[in-house]
Amino acid sequence: MENPLIAHIVKTINISAFEKQCIIKAFKSSTFRKKQNLLEEGQSCKYLFFVCKGCLRMFFINDKGAEQTIQFALENWWMTDNMAFETGKYAAFSIQAIEQTEVLYIDKQSLEVLLEEIPSLNKYFKNIYHRAYAASLMRIKYVFSMSKEDFYDHFCNSYPDFIQRIPQKILASFLGFTPEYLSELRKKKLTEKI
């Protein structure tokens, strides 16, 4: 029975059994229940999280006082406030469990030690960030090129099973519109289908 993080790492780089042990030792594990915060906006961001099971979301409070979700992390995704984790400054975002979620986590100093011990991990993380960056640009592309309605359709088609797992309020804020408007769209889809 292997650690999901190790399983994920060996998809991109080769590591020895000893290195696997180093990695396993460097991470701690924890479970968060629904709605529990892993990080709060304005606090310092100590950890980098890897989702083994469950689902996280990253959000911030906008000028109207509403929670604005900006991304999700499912199984095998990394999540932290990258800027804050790296620089030691205060977090611009909060991270919260959407459902009960098991994570592995590591602090910055331990991560640096680990990267010294296993330099090839730099390649692994290079790939992780590379993909995350590319995905993020595609997201910007979609935001700008689609109407809110099309954006909703596109999301439903791309992640049909995932929309079942998240409250509509959160989905609405992720897509960039109000829960009321989402409600209207859903109604429209229903009448269209009949």
Partner DNA sequence: CGGATCGTTGATCAACTTCAACGGTCGTGG
Partner DNA sequence: CCACGACCGTTGAAGTTGATCAACGATCCG
* Smallest separation (angstroms) from a copy of itself to the CB of 29: 24
Among 40, 99, 102, 149, binds DNA (CB under 7 A): 149
Give which of DNA, a copy of itself, none residue 24 binds (C-beta under 5 to 8 Å, depending on kind).
Answer: none
| Residue ranges in 119-148 that form contacts with a copy of itself under rule CB under 8 A | 119-120, 122-123, 125-126, 129-130, 132-134, 136-141, 143-145
From CA 135, how far away is CA 54, in angstroms rounded?
Answer: 21
According to DSSP, the residues that pair with 56 across neighbouring strands are 73, 97
Residues 121, 115 contacting (CB under 8 angstroms)? yes
Neighbouring C-alpha atoms within 13 Å toward the C-beta of 15: 27
* Smallest separation (angstroms) from a copy of itself to the CB of 71: 7
Cα–Cα separations (whole angstroms), residue 11 to 90, 128, 134, 188: 33, 12, 19, 43
| Residue ranges in 34-73 that form contacts with DNA under rule CB under 7 A | 34, 64
Can you give the binding site for DNA, defined by CB under 7 A? Answer: 34, 64, 147-149, 167-169, 176-184, 186-187
